[in-house]
Amino acid sequence: MFKGLKRVIVDEIHALAESKRGDQLFLALARLQSLCPDLKRVGLSATVEDPQAIAHLLARHPDPCDILLADPGPAPDIRMLVTQEAPPWSGSGGKYAIPAVLEEIKKHKTTLIFHNTRAQAELYFHNIWLANDDGLPIGIHHGSLDRQQREKVEQAMVRGDLRAIVCTGSLDLGIDWGDVDLVIQIGAPKNVKRLVQRIGRANHRYNAPSKALLVPANRFEVVECVAALQAVQAGELDGEPRGKGPRDVVCQHILITACAGPFDADALFTEVTGAGAYSTLTRAEFDDCLTFCATGGYALRAYDQWQRLLQRPDGLWQLRDPRASRNIRMNIGTIQDTDTLKVRMKRARGGKPLGEIEEGFAATLSKGDTFLIGGQIVRYEGLRDLTVEVSRDAGKKPKIATFLGTKFATSTQLSARILKKFQQASWPELPPHTADWLALQRKVSRLPEPGRLLIESFPHDGHVHTAIYGFAGRNAMQTLGLLLTKRMEELGLNPLGFLATDYATLIWGLDKITDPNALFEINALRTGLETWLAGNAVMKRTFRACATIAGLIQRNTPQQRKSGRQATFSSDILYDTLHKYDPDHVMMQITREEAMKGLIDFSRIEDMVARVGTRIDLIELNRVTPLAAPLFLEVGRVPVKGMAEEKLLAAEAARLMATAGLPS
């Protein structure tokens, strides 16, 4: 089939370079290169911060790769949306800006309104529709909607029937509709590359500048949006360092290779290490993966179901049972979606598919509960054959479906730019309400600095509160909260709880911190992490994902697809078995590596501790500080059900800001 293949073009290569989908693609390209030695590879992208690193992934290692830089065209027209109302102190919905957004929609042909998560997109679409007094045609598009629903919106867009689409990353790439003349980003983009990619969806013509508006969702995001704007204007993109290629994908590649016929291990090792992400894979690591694919490894080799490969007398490896190829092929892939259930209108109403919701969210629903999907408020009627049946509801206050989606963390480079901005003498580029807020923080305490760690300690509501401004991203700050409260327990400091944002961790308890250096001793943090991970659900969740990719757990069989609970049960038993009898099993090694990179993001904590050293500034104050005040509004944030709750929340916000010396 591929005998005459001359060239493979990989578009939007930056998106593949950051995921296991990309790792699998590059291994597949290495296989194609073995079949077609003269094959040329071309990668295209407008948002690559390190072209040499991407070239290393694309090229056949160790061959060189030419890098051609195109004329970027006109600079984008990008600015922050000016609104009559100041952004709120907390939250991520951007509801306050809806009147101004509607005015912008009226001025343009077609507008894309990007959100960072599906839940935010659904809620925003609902709110903008309630405020859409002029009846502007507005659609919604995200990955949890039914495919037919998404295609219907796309076709309406092509015909020019829609003035705006509220969307998520589902429209980040490859949309070349010339009529899109404005992009609006609701909430800080968290990543300069993502912002540039989204800006590029507007005026998709070579000689026309892309036009975009940023809408910060809260007061701190004003600073983040301005920092991102300046990074775009300076042409500075961000990106996290790319580690070694994950070995669960190598295990899957070995099994897929065996499905194609007998293979030589030496030749396959050469092929795999020809893929840039795996150029540093050692032969011992490869052999561990091969042994796992062949026998399941030491603790599992007694079970027939994991005896999948055998070595022939001529040294080649092949499937032990050729019939196994069907199951292996049915489980190819690296995308690990959360378990979802289909949502349909109740059959009496035609059974129209609407999309999917998480299994965990569906489990919380009782008959009569309402939620948002596809911009509609629907009423839960029941569960039939693993399908959620709903009917339309005329209410205006739904129970919001919390789609998992993707929760982005602010990039390291953007965080560094924010810290640098804090050191300015004044901030003429910021709106007065935000500049005054930062000036007051500097007056009563101080602002965080690059290369130092600011910790504030103050009393509030009868407890000692400690705010740690690490600027390491939400996942890392969450992990830091877990580890620091554990350390505080060990030191007898009686912590009661914590919360985390992209830029800070707030801990409350009974006792003051007196020696912050003792808390941030990296070996103690690492030991605490290992202890915490050993009995934590994060490891089991990560193990399940890795084991599914590596072929240890098969979700799909010719008979049926395992439910999420069945797969979890199987993976938990396997995890407990390996943890007890074979803790150094290759799947346990892979799980630890992946857990440290994913939800835990411990490398950012290590980088922060290394960057700061002993330069920790502990400031004791007698009241909440301006920078810490918005953190309190994160505590116990629940869906608002009516005006009474909204008024109570607004009163609490005003009280907190007054306590911090700020105008409401």
Mean pLDDT computed over 204-209:
70
pLDDT score at 637 = 35
- Rounded Cα distance between 655 and 640, Å, is 19
pLDDT score at 432 = 92
pLDDT in tens, 416-451: 999 999 999 999 999 999 999 999 999 999 999 999
Alpha helices in 36-82 (DSSP H): 51-58
Closest to 110 in 3D by CA, of 75, 158, 72, 65: 158
Closest to 373 in 3D by CA, of 144, 48, 77: 144
pLDDT score at 624 = 96
CB 587 within 8 A of CB 546: yes
Mean pLDDT computed over 454-460:
96
pLDDT in tens, 156-180: 988 889 999 999 877 776 566 658 8
Q: What percent of the chain has pLDDT over 70?
A: 90
- Rounded Cα distance between 46 and 200, Å, is 9
Quick one: tokens of 84? 């009559």
What stretches of 191-243 adopt beta strand conformation (E)? 211-215
Most confident option among 191-200, 382-391, 494-503:
494-503
Higher-pLDDT residue of 656 and 425 is 425
400 pLDDT more than 80 = no
pLDDT score at 639 = 28
- Rounded Cα distance between 280 and 262, Å, is 25
The three-class DSSP label of residue 233 is helix
| Beta-strand pair 340-345/353-358 | antiparallel
Mean pLDDT computed over 51-61:
89
Lowest mean pLDDT, pick from 98-112, 189-203, 336-350, 489-503: 336-350
Task: Calculate ∠ Cα 355-359-362, nearest 5°.
Answer: 80
Mean pLDDT computed over 560-589:
80
586 pLDDT more than 90 = yes
Mean pLDDT computed over 85-92:
85
Mean pLDDT computed over 309-323:
95
Lowest mean pLDDT, pick from 283-292, 324-333, 382-391: 382-391
pLDDT in tens, 140-162: 998 888 888 888 988 898 888 99
- Rounded Cα distance between 114 and 111, Å, is 10
- Rounded Cα distance between 122 and 138, Å, is 12
Closest to 148 in 3D by CA, of 370, 342, 361: 342
DSSP annotation string for 396-441 = S-PPPP----------HHHHHHHHHHHTSS--TTS-HHHHHHHHHH
Q: How many CB atoms lie within 10 A of CB 349?
A: 13
- Rounded Cα distance between 436 and 418, Å, is 16
pLDDT score at 618 = 96
pLDDT score at 84 = 82
Average pLDDT, the chain: 86
Sign of torsion over alpha carbons 227, 231, 91, 474: negative
638 pLDDT more than 50 = no
pLDDT score at 364 = 66
Lowest mean pLDDT, pick from 396-410, 607-621, 625-639: 396-410
Alpha helices in 586-661 (DSSP H): 586-597, 602-612, 629-632, 643-659
